[in-house]
Amino acid sequence: MKKLTLAEHWPDFFTLGLNEDSLNTVYENVAMLEKGILPDSTPKNFPRPTILRVHGIPLHPDRTLLFFDTGGECFERPSQLVRFAGFVRRAHTAMFLVSLPDMDDPAKEMHKLLNTYVVGMGELGGATREQNLVVVYTKADALIKYLDGWEFLTDYLTHGSLEELADQDHYVRRMHTASERLKKFNLCG
C-alpha cells in the first residue's frame, strides 16, 4: 500500500499512517523491502494494529484499514489462535500468507491451517461465513517449475506488475481468472 508508483496510475491515491507505530512499521518495512530484505518473522504475540487511511483507489471508497500481524505459529493450534490472534473474530478479511515451497505436504498443511482457523474461530464465537479468506501464495516464483501446462499462471508470475493496476476492471478480471485456475491447480500432480 505504500508503493508511491501507484499514484502514477491512480492520480488521487495516497495512504496515511494514523499513529506513530503505524508510520514506523510502514516506512521501516518499505525501506527494507526496497533493498530486497525481508522483515524479521513476526513474533507470536497479540499485536498492536497498523492503522492506515487509504484514499483514491479507483472503483473503491476511501477506507481505514487495520492490519494485525501476528506470528504464523499462532495458527498452529486453536488455543494459540484464541490466545494471540483473537482479533480475527471481528475481521472482515483474514489473510493467510502461505509458502508452498517451504511445506513438506502442502495439501495436508493447508488443510490443518484452515481447520485450526475454523476451530479457533468457533472457540472465539466468530462467524467464518461472514468473513473473506484470502490466501496469498508467497515465493510463487519457486513454483514455476511445477506449472508446465499452466501458461496463464506462469505468465502472471513472470510478467505481473504494478502497472496492471492502472486498469482496475482488467486487473480484477485477471485476478478472478487466476483464482479460478488456482482452485484447479494441484502441486502434487
Structural domain range at position 166: 144-189
The number of folded domains in the chain is 3
pLDDT by residue (tens digit) across 81-122?
888 888 889 888 888 888 888 889 988 998 999 999 999 999
**At a CB cut-off of 8 Å and minimum separation 6, what does 162 contact?**
3, 5, 6, 9
In a shared domain, residues 27 and 76: no
CB 52 within 8 A of CB 22: yes
Mean pLDDT, residues 145-163 taken together: 75
**At a CB cut-off of 8 Å and minimum separation 6, what does 88 contact?**
68, 81, 94, 117, 120, 121, 124, 126
What does the alpha-carbon distance between residue 54 and residue 64 come to, in Å, rounded to a whole number? 6
pLDDT of residue 8 exceeding 50, the answer is yes
In a shared domain, residues 6 and 62: yes
In a shared domain, residues 25 and 60: yes
This prediction has a pTM of 0.69
In a shared domain, residues 134 and 163: no
Task: Provide φ and ψ at 70, rounded to 5°.
Answer: -125, 165
pLDDT of residue 64 exceeding 80, the answer is yes
What does the alpha-carbon distance between residue 2 and residue 47 come to, in Å, rounded to a whole number? 20
Beta-carbon neighbour count of residue 50 at 10 Å?
21
- Backbone Cα Rg of the chain: 18
What pLDDT shows up at residue 189? 45
What does the alpha-carbon distance between residue 61 and residue 86 come to, in Å, rounded to a whole number? 27
pLDDT by residue (tens digit) across 115-145?
999 999 999 999 999 999 888 888 877 878 8
Work out the angle between the directed axes of helices 151-159 and 168-184 (0-180°, nearest 10).
Answer: 130
Mean pLDDT, residues 65-74 taken together: 79
Q: What residue type is assigned to position 59 of the chain?
A: L
In a shared domain, residues 19 and 64: yes
* Banded model confidence at residue 36, pLDDT cuts 50, 70, 90: confident
CB 22 within 8 A of CB 65: no
